[in-house]
Amino acid sequence: MDDKNIFRLDAKVAAVIGGGSGIGEAVAAGAAGLGAAVSVLDANHEAATRVAALIGGTAAALDIRDAAAVKSALEGIAREHGRLDIVICTPGVNVRKPILQYEPAEFDRVVELNLKGSFNVLQAAGRIMTAQRDGSIVMFSSIRSQVVEPGQSVYAMTKAGIVQLVRAGAAEFGRFGVRVNAVGPGVVETPLTAPIKANADWYAAYSNKSALGRWARADEMVGPTLFLASDAASYVTGTILFADGGWTAVDGRFTPPGM
């Protein structure tokens, strides 16, 4: 391994799902900047096209809830380039409601995208990469896989499920040279968290909970994600890398006197 270039993605073919906005957009731009040929996939085709134009990649519409569409999209990229080295899956949705008020349709909406969608991506990418005997898959979990607050039941359940999905993928795909990992962001300024940012008290409470005392920017998820995707993480699989500003390390909201 060339230690000077272990983080580079030159000659790598990457699919960034959810690359039309937020963390996915930042990761797509970062992967292109490190030399990867990037395909930007997003349910919003216009957004994917915009990002692809900015980074010199290609774009396509993709709803990860549709298993056949995921399979077709990833196989198409692999066919075009002769291989598929990296798949990064960022999409997620949340409905913040108490358990006793949750509607069946809301439950289905969160589970179908976050869990079923993630499974569809892992399965389709895994088929391609195990056949070529190489590749890295990076899914997106959350601090909510470990810690919760009122109103986060179903979202937290799905994010914990993604961690177990990643571990199972790593266990099954490892003998084929395929790595599977997850990133666990804390609070990140994205379209998904815009309603929280709009509430000053809520925004401040989240800022104060992290050890760094602030929210993350979307671009701060690029390094952790692309580390897992790169050869720098060649012996890393089946794990979750928390990029949470110390959120899950800090216990309690009170600083004792004299500290």
CB 31 within 8 A of CB 86: yes
Q: Which two tokens stand for residue 148?
A: 């919760």
CA separation for the pair 72, 68 (Å, rounded): 6
Neighbours of 194 (CB within 10 A): 10
| DSSP state letter for 114 | I
Residue 126: partners with Cβ closer than 8 Å, 6 or more residues away: 137, 169, 172, 173, 178, 180
Cα-trace Rg, the chain: 18
Please identify which of the residues 155, 203, 206, 235 carries the catalytic annotation. Answer: 155
203 is catalytic: no
Give me the active site residues, please. Answer: 155
